[in-house]
Structure 1
Amino acid sequence: MKKIKYLLIFLIIFGFLGMSQIVFDFYKSSLVIAGAVPNVAGWAWSGNIGWISFRGINYGVHICTGDADTLCGHLPIPRRGRLVGYAWSSNIGWIHFDPAGPFPTGVGTTATSSRVDLATGNVSGWARAERAITPEGQTLGGWDGWISMRGRETGTNTEYGVWLETVPAPAPNEFRGWAWGDDVVGWISFNDKESLPAGPIDHQVTTTFRLNQPPTAINLSKDPHNPIEYCGRTGYPPVRVRWEFSDPDIGPPKDFQSAFRVQIATNTAFSPFVVDTGKTAGGSPNLLVVPPPLERRLAFNTLYYWRVKVWDNHGLASEWVTGPSFSTVAHPFPDQDPPGATPPNPRNFIWSPDPPAVGEVVQFTDRSVCFAAGSATTTCSSWRWDFDFAIPHDGIWDRTNVQHATHVFTGHVKHTVKLQVEDHSGFVCSITRELTPTLPLPIWREVPPFMWLPLEIPFMAIIIETFKEIFPFRKGDIISNFLVMGSGSVGLNPH
């Protein structure tokens, strides 16, 4: 009988240990992926439950590095900054860092699983201390409760929390601060650098995960003078500055620019500034400096300094980055009618007659205005006319060095006329207009009226008499009034 009793006890103990091992394997499998190593390590300390291990054989805690992180494939996108996996306590068992909700509520807490704010490094959300349970959901004992990573103490309203301290690479970043696990777990210290409550010396939880690092702007430059942007603008030079967005957080997904701010001044202190865009939403890596507002209006023949600040898609800003200084052009480009201008610029070229006819000499008159230093108006230096312009241009001009040109169109089709003007500084602008010549005018030749027919043409008299026989004309009809008059003439009036 005793042998049977001991055998039963042995089987119960063996079964319990075996089930514990099954459960252990069940939970630890959440981070067992070939070639993947969790990026969190080290030890935390609780005055109530002692040491908490964040990495061991076939288990660990991990911060998701991006949407393609193989250890985070079970999470919804976006994944970067989420904590997953398990830590281990010999007293309360597994502590799960991406448990399922619903989550507790509390002052200053966040109703999510644990995660790191990529901009500030603050850790928020919840972990869960859960004694290993069987796949059937049977609890094997121990405390099963929530651990808050950030919140406010009841009564004092004092803020507590865990955060990630950024340490220059390649050293791992260190977690700092405290989490709260109610009366069972109490305060959990993530780093012995913290003061109260006291814990063992030399314990830290670290990670190789890099927080959202600030972006920067590189390859700053100013575009050359572009006639497309400069022609037709006489009150200011339309300067375009450029940069490239650069971010060490290469993902995936890779961080991208969400906003920028550009300042332009006539001094390196940027005080006062001529242009300040403020924080402007957008991913464009360039800015065309044109009004409005009026404070963006730059002046001709002036030396300027400029700088840019960029923001990544997590809201983290770069430092100011200064670009190369630049000088604006001495004076405006030639002034013509910009495409689509309303109302049309009176300096556009015109022609006469309007509309012209095929084969008719057409006079074209240029009304462009060129400028000299100080923006004073002056004559242009050269003109080029193309009366049948097409894209791409063949490089052949119909008239050159003629300000006012003439031309004869030979076809009743639409023609595109292009005028290119150049000033004494070599600034070139051009404009095109379309016209369709009308059909040629008819040629008039004077002939004798039909009502005068000489008697010497007997066949005409025969024709007239035949008409009289066929068609009875009444007095007053138009044809009855047609008379062939003169000596010996035949009249059409039967009366």
Structure 2
Amino acid sequence: MFKKQFFKIIFSFLIFSISAVVVAFCVFRAGYHLPAAIAGVSQNVNGWAWSDIVGWISFNNLSGGGSNNYGVHITDNQSGTEGNFSGYAWSDNIGWLSFNESDLGGCPAAPCRAWVDKITGQVKGWAKFLTTGEWLSLRGSNYGVSINKSTGVFSGWAWGDETAGWVSFNCEQTETGNRCPSANYKVQTSFSLNTPPRATNLNVAGSGFCSNPLYAFSWVFEDADIGDSQSAYQLQVDKEGTFTSFGPGEVNLSASSNVNNVSVVIAQNPNVNQLDYQSTKYYWRVKVWDSFSKESAWANGPSFTTPAHPYPLVDFTFKPSQIVKDQVIQFCSVEQDPVCPSNVSVCYGNNYPSCASANFQWVFPAGVQFVNGTNSASPNPAVKFSAVGKNQNVQLTISDDVGSCSKTKSLNVNLPLPKWKEVSPQ
């Protein structure tokens, strides 16, 4: 009796399975008009997949598959390079297909979740038929589901073993050709597979302290998506490192630009988006956007400290203004009574504007003779030129507690005028 009942159950199940396959195949070949499986506001995957065993599998439905609001959804995970699946798909013949990680424990091979690699578009992992407890493998060694990174359209095959067999995610497959004229179906998503870019190799360097003082902030734009480039950046430089507000002497710059090197002026009385002297310690960070407006996380650069004050402003004069060979020429860079009436050079330290505590280094052409007790380290040397000629360079370097700056001038040295005396005609 038991044996007869057992074979009856088996026979009934086989008849049901065969009937389901035949009906599904006929529907598929007849070009059955699929009901809309549209994404709700909380799901971003929609459309239909097809199994020769269980028939249509709907990935989202608000109007075409009953009153239940269900769907499959993809969200970014913490890595930024993967998207995690969640939610449910529905088959009239087998019931719920879960993509929720909480339902996927004990899967045939870890990790027990479903996800998409945003760089390659490959879908990986598992989903589970809750009615039977059987698994849908989304990728194997010679098959798998993929998402087109440009269109969001799924393609490829998943394997549902005895429960669902091969599950097709698109009516046009390499293995079966284009079946879309008779059954136009596919699964698709509005989830962006564009991976976020990164700003790396952050560097800051000061330059031009003797002429155009500034700090250059640079970074390298990196994006795993082939062809993506930088479309915008935001640079923030802050004294406290909190980046919550920005006043004078702090920077908050944004621009739609592909440049990755931004120069910021340093000034004694800075405005917003300028830097301050006064040995100020700064913290800075940068964020970038790719060509599809995907933004990166903030990247922090190395902190830096500005000089206590500007570098020396170097200049000098000389008299007489017409230089003659073997004549004493007085050079002046700072005030010195009675030979030099004013400070031509300026130092910004404690004795501002005086450079009294600074070091001086003069470089004259070969053969110049220092006179009046002066030398190459004197602030205001007196010299005699021994050679006549044009474009003879004289350089002065002044060094104080923060740095050194130089000034070079090209001078002409002339012969003295001829001496003459008046004589009576013969």
More strand by percentage: 2
More helix by percentage: 1
Larger Rg: 1
